[in-house]
Structure 1
């Protein structure tokens, strides 16, 4: 039986590592949408020699690859997944703004309240190379000193979790009776707390939150199979970008196709990726790069959370 066109999903490759909380968010969306995907395990710290050719220098995880197109940052990865397979929805009841807003809040507020609390206890066990790598990502700040903010972070984390717990007293999921992007987004910081028992203990005091957590955790990861990093590079080399030129004529900064720009995260890991503009829409910037060992690669980024500058 042939699949209808809307059911045909190309081979999806996720570059990740097992302990990555932001990868966990994407893994739960894959599970919800019942998407088959390939998992490429990448290093936790630099160097990442079999990732950087695909990303042009962008080093954060996860990264989504389809052929010679590469999506960097969960903001744009989620949009692409939803475009490929809209159903089952991650926006039940049409609550797009609520889900997207909770996603940004979870990434920028809830998640960052967990990190000092976890590393307050784990800091002494973390390899020096990891501390140095994360310090470089934070533009030279000392990641090893992050535990100093643990008392304030613990207060904020507890308050954030109580907000979620109150909502979950009224419904099985954060936006009602169905799983949504909000659940995937808020799940991954709580999941990250499991790295340190006393940190997770803060969450365990909230009964509604824990029932929800166990429900999301039990979803698993969907239909996943491993892929070697070299195989993923070969896929890119043997493919051509499928992205058609699409530049919004109403762009407020008058960005034009072919303009050479540098795209950089605005929060941490300030590694610019440089290329020629192929796509510029309200939510997306995509640039084309010529990579000697791979050929043409198009890198896709969200506009929210990134800076675009002439290069």
Structure 2
């Protein structure tokens, strides 16, 4: 089994999603804690610019975005599957909704003034301001943030809909958890951590019971690892992707071998430059090199990311 190095921080919702998937698949992993806000020099040297959390490192391969990480972990350990039949397509669609619409409603509700005050209660006064400014730069006016009042309406509706799905089954799509469950769980997990705002969950007892079942999966105790150790692993390794599809799908008129940039569509707009060496139906791969890490491959999911020729 290859060494799985997860770069994350404890309160990151998307990190909790991946930690729980690792637990469900009983995969051992190494834990590298990274800063929640910029600067992140050790992150950027590995990703080339991508700064969202988490990302997964396997040797000299860097996998960005929790959706792509889930596919990698599924390849490494297919059972228990994240994509059970016959609801495989539905589970992915529901996961995408949960990682976007549900997530942003949950964050706007959870970090309303009283929630934010609790989250940063033990931090110096400038910490909340720095966090807010950092997240503002990540969107750079490219997305509309829900106001707390609007988030309240949306979040309550979403929770009721999740509750309806749990009327006659233990998990959202059946008897076992799928990627839909892991994706819907992590925004609610964040809310539940904050005493002043978690009462919204009390309106849907079936959702609370489901959250308890998800939490019981656990994610074991990882091996502690440092960013310097992770960088040393990358430099000593040769890139070798674990993504299984390889057929070139040219939707942009950009040939393989081109100098390109990739960034997220709406949040985390920092670009990663590199040489395009894969553009398949599911993912992009950039080749990069630097003195500090040597040659590495950085992988992104196709959905949710923008590919451009360098300089465009």
Same-fold call, TM cutoff 0.5:
yes
- Deviation of 1:22 after TM superposition, in Å, equals 0.3
- Deviation of 1:170 after TM superposition, in Å, equals 1.1
Name the counterpart of 2:306: 307
Could you tell me whether the CA contact under 8 Å between 2:7 and 2:54 is conserved in 1? yes
SS in 1 for 2:63: strand
Name the counterpart of 1:199: 197
Name the counterpart of 2:40: 48
- Deviation of 1:189 after TM superposition, in Å, equals 0.8
SS in 1 for 2:38: coil
Which of 216, 226, 229 is equivalent to 1:228?
226
Q: Which sits farther off after the overlay, 122-131 or 253-262?
A: 122-131
Query: What are the Cα deviations for residues 216-267 of structure 1, in whole angstroms up to 9, with x where unaligned?
Result: 1121113522111111111001111113998634423343221111001001
Could you tell me whether the CA contact under 8 Å between 2:75 and 2:242 is conserved in 1? no
Tell me, yes or no, if structure 1 residue 23 matches structure 2 residue 15. Answer: yes
Could you tell me whether the CA contact under 8 Å between 1:287 and 1:299 is conserved in 2? yes
Q: Which sits farther off after the overlay, 290-299 or 15-24?
A: 290-299
Distance 1:123 1:232 in 2: 32
Tell me, yes or no, if structure 1 residue 169 matches structure 2 residue 172. Answer: no
Name the counterpart of 1:291: 290
Query: What are the Cα deviations for residues 90-136 of structure 1, in whole angstroms up to 9, with x where unaligned?
Result: 12233211111111000110010011211212345462211111111
Tell me, yes or no, if structure 1 residue 122 matches structure 2 residue 121. Answer: no
Distance 2:92 2:220 in 1: 23
Distance 1:249 1:270 in 2: 25
Which segments of 5 or more consecutive residues in structure 1 lack a partner in the other structure? Answer: 1-8
The aligned runs of 1:48-197 (5 Å cut-off) are: 48-120=40-112, 121-124=114-117, 125=120, 127-139=128-140, 149-197=147-195
Could you tell me whether the CA contact under 8 Å between 1:237 and 1:295 is conserved in 2? yes
SS in 2 for 1:174: coil
Which segments of 5 or more consecutive residues in structure 2 lack a partner in the other structure? Answer: 121-126
Could you tell me whether the CA contact under 8 Å between 2:248 and 2:279 is conserved in 1? no
Normalization by structure 2: what TM-score? 0.91
SS in 2 for 1:133: helix
Query: What are the Cα deviations for residues 24-79 of structure 1, in whole angstroms up to 9, with x where unaligned?
Result: 11111111111111111000111112111000011000000000000011121111
Task: Please tell me the root mean square deviation across aligned C-alpha atoms, in Å.
Answer: 2.0
Could you tell me whether the CA contact under 8 Å between 2:64 and 2:300 is conserved in 1? yes
Could you tell me whether the CA contact under 8 Å between 2:57 and 2:63 is conserved in 1? yes
Distance 2:249 2:135 in 1: 38
**Cα–Cα, structure 1 residues 104 and 244, in superposed 2: closer, same or farther, change >3 Å?**
closer
Normalization by structure 1: what TM-score? 0.91
